[in-house]
């Protein structure tokens, strides 16, 4: 009996397809988890480090989102990506999104 695909994998696949539909060339980044990020996207001449986070809760938990943004920035710099994008499944209040974008210089996109 085949195991169902985990929800986080379905969400990451959806993000990949949305990015591709928006002219990104997307590959799965080989260094994932705490030492990397999920996807490497290229749009024109820009390389993007992209972290995809699926949370079971609808409301964003600021500490978890900030930790993900910190890892994304640090690991993106090490991979020489010029831009970072954090895609989350939770609803980000506008004030949290603004703080994250200013503090970490990443683009935050809600699903």
Specify the CATH number of the domain 7-110. 3.40.1350.10
Average pLDDT, the chain: 87
CA atoms within 13 A on the CB side of 21: 6
Q: Where are the beta strands (DSSP E) in 29-76?
A: 39-43, 46-53
The pair of three-digit structure tokens given for residue 97, joined into one six-digit string: 């999104």
Q: Read off the pTM.
A: 0.84
Average pLDDT over residues 55-62: 86
pLDDT digits 0-9 by tens, 67-108: 988 989 888 888 889 888 989 998 888 888 888 888 888 776
The domain spans of the chain are 7-110
């Amino acid at each position: 009996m085949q195991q169902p695909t985990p929800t986080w994998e379905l969400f990451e696949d959806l993000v990949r397809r949305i990015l591709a539909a928006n002219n990104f060339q997307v590959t799965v980044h080989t260094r994932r988890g705490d030492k990397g990020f999920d996807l490497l996207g290229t749009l024109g001449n820009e390389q993007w480090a992209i972290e995809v986070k699926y949370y079971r809760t609808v409301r964003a938990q600021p500490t978890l989102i900030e930790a993900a943004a910190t890892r994304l920035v640090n690991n993106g710099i090490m991979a020489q990506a010029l831009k970072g994008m954090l895609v989350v499944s939770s609803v980000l209040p506008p004030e949290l999104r603004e703080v994250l974008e200013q503090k970490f210089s990443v683009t935050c996109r809600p699903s």
